[in-house]
Each structure stands twice: as structure tokens, then as C-alpha cells.
Structure 1
Amino acid sequence: MSSTVHTPRRVLILAAAPAQLLDIAGPAEILAQASRLGPATGSDARLYDLACHIVPEPGTPATSAGLPLSSTVTAETLLGWSALDTLIVAGGEGARRRGDEAAIRDLTRHLASRARRVVGVCTGAFILAASGCLNGRRVTTHWRWCDELARRHPGLAVDPEPIYVQDGRVWTSAGITAGMDLALALVEADHGHALALAVARELVMFLRRPGSQKQFSPHLTDRTGLSARLADLPSWMSENLHRPLRVETLAARVGLSPRQFARAFRAEAGTTPARMLERLRVDAARRMLESDGAALAAVATLCGFQADETMRRAFLRQVGVPPGDYRDRFRAERRLSQQTLPERSATA
């Protein structure tokens, strides 16, 4: 009796110092757990063969956290590789600042030409863009840096909304933890939904968010740039969503006339009070739909929407899917999470 021969997929994580630590560790842990939890297929049961190369910068720590991190493979060795399954380029300050360096650009271009799949995590997109790997592609990156990426590389279709994007063999993700969602999507594409779900469960990730889910978190109760008078208002709005929060009510809360308030809020928050309120209500409804079985009508009422249809239109604008579909996806994931993945066993 002989066992099935299995060749692990070779994956390289490439980064430029200083790199965002979680952009490296997050995807690496997802793939490592997939190898541990996936069914054995022969003498070498690893699904992924992971390597890491960090392009150093003299006097700069390898990671923005200041923690040391070493390459597992040299640049000279990488240049000798003839094939690579997946190239993952991590983000961080180094990616944004050093992507145009000739050594980084040339190494990235060389590796990408030999890879079946190319992945940019967070601002790793800056390195891939500088190397020409993203030309003509629809891509995303961290919401804070989307405008900068589009300005530097006008040939890209930069989409600031989704948490990750696939365009052909190229995948890019939003900021930091979204790289883990993208890595789970890679596992699912390679080995199926059951294994991706098992990895998410093992790492106490409730589920893999779909790429179409929007990067809406930074817009909510972020008080950056708000004056002392307005700084606490988003939090107060979040606690009173069930109330009819008209402009007059909000203005009175901060001691301004409605006209003064509307002008000041837009200048400081970069959006109107009505749009901020819709985002807060959608976020509250989203959390309820994720965690309990309340009817849509009840969720709409508790979150301050005037009707189910009002909530539906707001969800389509803010999240990209209607609330019923959003809740159904979570229910489906919850049912699947109750299923047991087959135990690993080697074929004799």
C-alpha cells in the first residue's frame, strides 16, 4: 500500500522594513493552521510551505512594532526560484516609503513573474504597484492610503470600499486584519470552505468576512479632527439611535444653532450629520444581525430606522448587500460551524 504523494504549495511573504507585523504574522498563521488542520495526503501533510524575506533598511527595525523578525530565505536564493505558488507582499511604513527602491521593485517583479498568484496585504499594494504588477487592475488597500495609491499610480482602479479584491490572479486587501480574511479566502479557493471555516474557528475568528463587505469601521465613532465641542457627539449618537435624531436635536446637544452645527460638523467630520447617523445605525444593525435572531422589523426599530425598507436602502449603500442577505450569510456560517471537519488521517 502506498500513500498519495503531496507537494506543498510554496508561499513567500515579502516585506520591506519596517513592516506591519500583523501583515506578516496574520496570513502566515492562517496558512500554517490550514496545514495543521487539513487532511493528511501523504508523507508530507503540509498544505503550504511558508518562507519569509524582509528587505532590511540600515538602522531600522524589521517591524513597526520594534520586534525583531528575520528572513528565512535570502534574496539570492529567491532569485534562483523557478516557480512559486503564491507571493504575498506585506504592508507597513516600509512598503509605502520604499516601494520604488530598485532592489525591492526588481525582486518583486521577478518573483511575481514566477508566481501563480500575487497578493498584496494592506499597503503591500504600493510595492506591487511600483513593480508594475497591478497595472490596469482593480485593487484596494487600507482606507487611509487609497487616495495616495491612486495618486501615485493613476493606471490603477483603486476601490476604497471592499475589504479585499480579486482581479484575475491578483488579490489585494484592506488594512491589517483584512489580510487574514483574504488569507482565509485563499485557503477556501485552494482547499474548500470546510477547511477555511475550521481555520477561522481554531483562531477564534467568527467567520471569514466576504470581500464585498465594506471598510466602514473608520467612519463611525472616529473623533480625530473633531473639536472639543463635537468630540463626544458620535458616541452619544450611538447610544441614542432609537431616538429621532434630527439636526435640531444634535445642534441643541452641543449648544449651536442648527445652521452653525451643520456647517461645523461637515467641516470637522468630513460628512453630514445625516450620513454619519446612517452609518452608525447600519453598524448597530449589522452587529444585531450577526449576534441574534431578531426579526428585521425589530432590528430596524431598535436602530432608529423608520421602516424595513429604509434600513434595506441604507444597508445597500453602506454594506453592499441587503440586511436579509447579510443575516442569512451569518446563519449559514453558524450552521456550518457546527459541522465537524473529518479527522486527519494518512492514507495507508
Structure 2
Amino acid sequence: MKQVGIFIYEQVQAVDLAGALDTFGQANEELKKLGRPAFYQIHLLGLNTQPVRAENGLKLMADVALNDCPALDYLVLPGGSGNQQLQQNPVFLHWLCSQDSQLEKLISICTGAFLLAASGLVNGKTLSTHWRFAQQLQDAFPAVQVNAEALYHKEDKYYSSGGMTAGIDLCLAILEEDLGLHLAQTVAQELVMYLRRSGNQTQYSRPLTVQASEETRFIQLQQWVLDNLHRPIGLAQMADKACLSERHFRRIFTQRFGLSPSRYLEQLRLDRARSLLLCDGYSLERVCQECGFSGANSFGRLFKLRFGFTPMDYRVHFGG
């Protein structure tokens, strides 16, 4: 049984905490239904066992103080505004560093990456965090390479994710490593999530029904399309990747997923475009190139038709 510690603190982000807790906890429930023993034993850890309040006001209490912490296999560091104080707390940082040698996985969610960076354990490595805080993290910890786009990132035993629901994507990926695709998919369905938003997908991608497919060929097709969005992609290529004739592919794809292959490809391009519009350094022309649109004018018209904003208005409204 894996011993999983989830660290809580004053002004922790409740969604980051609950996402990890529910994902690993639901895995145990699904194993129980199968007559199998629980795989994870979960401990809520704190500097002490005094009550704390999450950012949303939820009152929380740790089960175990750091001084009494059992030997852990996995440690989860949720985000939250309160981590600004923890980054300067020598007791916490010393404890975190002391855990490193025994841990199989050290996991940060959203701005929990600041705690991981403050420890110095990931100097020279890459971390993901919420896109809004990426530059702040990079400025504060220049020895770390920050990935502002990826939903989550794994390097050695260090795992990090973007904001909130991306933390659940990361935990689902860990479930798949530990317990296999089928169980991870079952947990995702119980959480009303779509499995297999891979870590290299950009933050703010819309969950797609293809990800819930049990057929490997459609999952592989999606990954190929995502890897080649900057290129022209036609129905013939998609059908070939799925090992189907064009006619059969169009019919079966539309039946399974409720949209035509061309509309699906359009949605993938638009989802990628929405993500890139919120990232620094991406001009409209570069977004078009990365997403496979032939020109800014046609892209702008399609974007406004689908989302009600021009690309630039979207950037201003959602980019902060």
C-alpha cells in the first residue's frame, strides 16, 4: 500500500486538495468493488494539527503533524496563496528536503510548484504551474525552468501540474502508472472527467470525448493530430491513422463521438489557439501557424463565430 501525504496549510487552495484526495480515494473505492485491497493510504499533513482555513473559507484540520509523519511514498503539495509564507518557513523546508530521499513521487499542484522550487530539490529541472503565475515562479526561482503551457510535467520523480483541474489530470496519470488504464478510466468517469488529457496538452484545452474512448486507435489518432496541428491534415490522413477507409472512418467517428472528423479537427485547432492566445510571446500570426490556420482573417472569423470574441478581445478578456 502506498502511503500518500497531502500537505494542508492556512489559505490552501481547496480544489487542489480535494482533487488529489478524491482521485486517490476513488481509486480505493473502485478497487474495493473489485474485491481488491486499497492501494493508497492517505494522510492529511500539516505543520501541526490545529485547524486552518482554505482560501474559500473551508475549515480544515490535519490528521498528522510533521513531527509525527509516517514514512511516505508520495507527497502532494497543493497550491494556495498561503504558500508565500511557507516558502520562507525553515521548519517546513527542512522537513520537505528530509523527505526527498525516501519519496517515490513528489507532486505539486498549481502554485504548489513554488514550494517545490523553494526547497531547491528541482534546481535545473522543469516545473509546470498555473499559467498566470508562471512568470512569477520563473523570476523567483531562476534555477528552475518553468513550463507555462503544459497541463502537467514529469521529470524523474518530480511531478507538477497547472491549475486546479489539471491537478486531477496529473493524479489520473499517476493512477494509470500505478494501476493501469482501465482503473484510471473508471475513476475518471466517476469524477466526471475525461481521461488522457496528456501532460503536453496546453492548459485550458476543452475536454474531448475521444479521450474516453476505449479504442487505442482513436486515442493514438488524437495524439497524432495534436502533434501535427501545425500541418495540413485531411480526412484521408486521419482515416489512415485509424486504419479505416475514409467512408467507414467518417461514419464510425461521427457515430461514436457525436461530431464529424472535420469539426473535431476544427475544435482541436481552436482549443490550441485559445490556449496560445493566453501565453506571452504569441502573436496572432504565430498562433495561426502553430494551429494550422491558413491566415489571420479566416481564423478570426471562425474564432468569433465559435466563441463570440475576436482573438484579441479573448486575449484581453481572459488573459488578465
Smaller-chain TM-score range? 0.5 to 0.7
SS of equivalent residue, structure 2 residue 60: coil
Q: CA 1:72 to 1:131, structure 2 compared with 1: closer, same or farther past 3 Å?
A: same
Q: Do the aligned partners of 1:96 and 1:124 also contact (CA within 8 Å) in 2?
A: no
Distance 2:151 2:171 in 1: 12
Deviations 1:214-242 (A, max 9, x none): 02469xxxxxxxxxxxxxxxxxxxxxxxx
Q: Which amino acid aligns with 2:63?
A: T
Alignment size in residue pairs: 230
Superposed, 1:274-293 pairs within 5 Å as 292-293=258-259
1:157-204: CA deviation from partner (whole Å, max 9, x where unpaired) = 101010100001100000111111100011001111111000001111
2:152 aligns with 164
Q: Does 1:49 align with 2:41?
A: yes
Q: Which structure shows the higher helix fraction? A: 2
CA contact (8 A) 2:48 2:64 kept: no
Query: How do 1:127-142 and structure 2 match up within 5 A?
Result: 127-142=115-130
Distance 2:95 2:58 in 1: 24
Q: 2: distance between equivalents of 1:152 and 1:296?
A: 44
| Match 1:296 to one of 239, 262, 273 | 262
Query: 2:74 aligned with 1:73, yes or no?
Result: no
How far is the alpha carbon of 1:26 from its aligned partner? Answer: 0.6
Higher RCO (C-alpha 8 Å, min separation 6): 1
Matches within 5 A, 1:143-154: 143-154=131-142
Residue 22 of structure 1: aligned partner: 15
Task: State TM-score, norm by structure 2.
Answer: 0.64
The alpha-carbon distance between structure 1 residues 207 and 21, as it changes in their structure 2 partners (threshold 3 A), is: same
* Corresponding residue number in structure 2 for 1:31: 24
Larger CA Rg, structure 1 vs 2 = 1
1:273-299 deviations in Å (ceiling 9; x for gaps): xxxxxxxxxxxxxxxx99533132786
Residue type matched to 2:30 in 1?
L
Deviation readout 1:135-167 (Å, 9 max, x if unpaired) = 111111111111011111101110101010000
* Partner amino acid, structure 1, of 2:259: G
Unaligned runs of 5+ in 2: 207-253, 271-285, 294-320
- Between the aligned partners of 1:172 and 1:161, the Cα distance in structure 2 is 12
> Cα 1:217–1:200, aligned 2, differ >3 Å: closer, same or farther?
closer
TM normalised by structure 1 equals 0.59
SS at match of 2:163: coil
Give the ranges of 4+ consecutive aligned residues of structure 1 lying more than 6 Å apart after TM superposition. 39-42
> Which secondary structure does the structure 2 equivalent of 1:12 belong to?
strand
Gaps (5+ residues) in structure 1?
1-7, 219-288, 305-309, 318-348
- Give the partner amino acid of 1:133: L
| 8 A Cα contact 1:13 1:53, kept in partner | yes
Task: Name the counterpart of 2:55.
Answer: 64
SS at match of 1:184: helix
Identity among equivalent positions (%) equals 31
Residue from 311, 315, 322 that aligns with 2:291: 315
